[in-house]
Amino acid sequence: MEKEVISCELHDFVEVACMYGYHLKLTLKNDEVIEGKAVDILSVDQQELLVVDDNGEKKRIDLMALVKMQVLTPNAKFSEVVF
Protein backbone atom coordinates (compact mmCIF):
# COMPACT_ATOMS: atom_id res chain seq x y z
CA MET A 1 0.00 0.00 0.00
CA GLU A 2 1.36 3.39 -0.99
CA LYS A 3 1.47 6.12 1.65
CA GLU A 4 -0.46 9.33 1.05
CA VAL A 5 1.65 12.42 0.48
CA ILE A 6 0.99 16.00 -0.51
CA SER A 7 2.24 17.25 -3.87
CA CYS A 8 5.82 18.46 -4.17
CA GLU A 9 4.58 21.98 -4.94
CA LEU A 10 2.54 22.14 -1.72
CA HIS A 11 5.41 20.58 0.23
CA ASP A 12 7.67 23.39 -1.01
CA PHE A 13 5.36 25.99 0.55
CA VAL A 14 5.57 24.18 3.90
CA GLU A 15 9.37 24.05 3.64
CA VAL A 16 9.54 27.79 2.88
CA ALA A 17 7.31 28.51 5.88
CA CYS A 18 9.74 26.55 8.10
CA MET A 19 12.84 28.08 6.54
CA TYR A 20 11.61 31.63 7.25
CA GLY A 21 9.90 30.77 10.55
CA TYR A 22 6.57 32.15 9.37
CA HIS A 23 3.72 32.57 11.83
CA LEU A 24 0.90 30.41 10.45
CA LYS A 25 -2.81 29.87 10.85
CA LEU A 26 -3.56 26.27 9.91
CA THR A 27 -7.02 24.91 9.18
CA LEU A 28 -7.31 21.12 9.48
CA LYS A 29 -9.77 18.67 7.93
CA ASN A 30 -11.47 18.25 11.33
CA ASP A 31 -12.12 22.06 11.36
CA GLU A 32 -9.52 22.62 14.08
CA VAL A 33 -7.54 25.86 13.71
CA ILE A 34 -3.97 26.06 14.99
CA GLU A 35 -1.73 29.12 15.06
CA GLY A 36 2.00 29.05 15.60
CA LYS A 37 5.46 29.55 14.19
CA ALA A 38 6.57 27.01 11.57
CA VAL A 39 9.62 25.22 12.97
CA ASP A 40 10.36 21.98 11.08
CA ILE A 41 9.06 19.05 9.05
CA LEU A 42 9.50 15.57 10.51
CA SER A 43 9.01 12.15 8.98
CA VAL A 44 7.69 9.71 11.59
CA ASP A 45 6.18 6.27 10.94
CA GLN A 46 5.39 6.99 7.26
CA GLN A 47 3.83 10.37 8.17
CA GLU A 48 5.14 13.82 7.39
CA LEU A 49 4.52 16.22 10.24
CA LEU A 50 4.74 20.00 10.39
CA VAL A 51 6.08 21.16 13.74
CA VAL A 52 4.70 24.51 14.91
CA ASP A 53 5.54 26.40 18.07
CA ASP A 54 2.31 27.58 19.69
CA ASN A 55 3.49 29.84 22.55
CA GLY A 56 6.24 27.44 23.59
CA GLU A 57 4.22 24.26 22.98
CA LYS A 58 5.50 22.23 20.03
CA LYS A 59 2.62 20.75 18.05
CA ARG A 60 2.97 18.16 15.30
CA ILE A 61 0.44 18.37 12.48
CA ASP A 62 0.10 15.65 9.85
CA LEU A 63 0.50 17.32 6.45
CA MET A 64 -2.35 15.14 5.14
CA ALA A 65 -4.68 16.80 7.69
CA LEU A 66 -4.12 20.30 6.29
CA VAL A 67 -6.88 22.10 4.41
CA LYS A 68 -5.43 25.61 4.40
CA MET A 69 -2.24 27.33 5.52
CA GLN A 70 -2.41 31.11 5.96
CA VAL A 71 0.75 33.12 6.58
CA LEU A 72 0.30 35.81 9.22
CA THR A 73 3.88 37.11 8.94
CA PRO A 74 3.97 40.49 7.15
CA ASN A 75 5.75 40.67 3.75
CA ALA A 76 5.96 36.88 3.43
CA LYS A 77 6.79 35.19 0.11
CA PHE A 78 3.17 33.93 -0.07
CA SER A 79 -0.01 34.48 1.92
CA GLU A 80 -2.20 31.38 1.61
CA VAL A 81 -2.05 27.81 0.36
CA VAL A 82 -5.07 25.54 -0.07
CA PHE A 83 -4.32 21.82 0.11
Query: What domains appear along the chain, each with residue ranges and CATH number?
Result: 8-82 (2.30.30.100)
> How far apart, in whole angstroms, are the C-alpha atoms of residue 78 and residue 20?
11
17, with CB counted inside 10 A (0-12, 13-18, 19+), is buried
60 bridge partner residues:
51
Per-residue pLDDT reduced to its tens digit, 23-78 = 999 999 999 999 999 999 999 998 999 999 999 999 999 999 999 999 999 999 99
Q: What is the pTM of this model?
A: 0.93
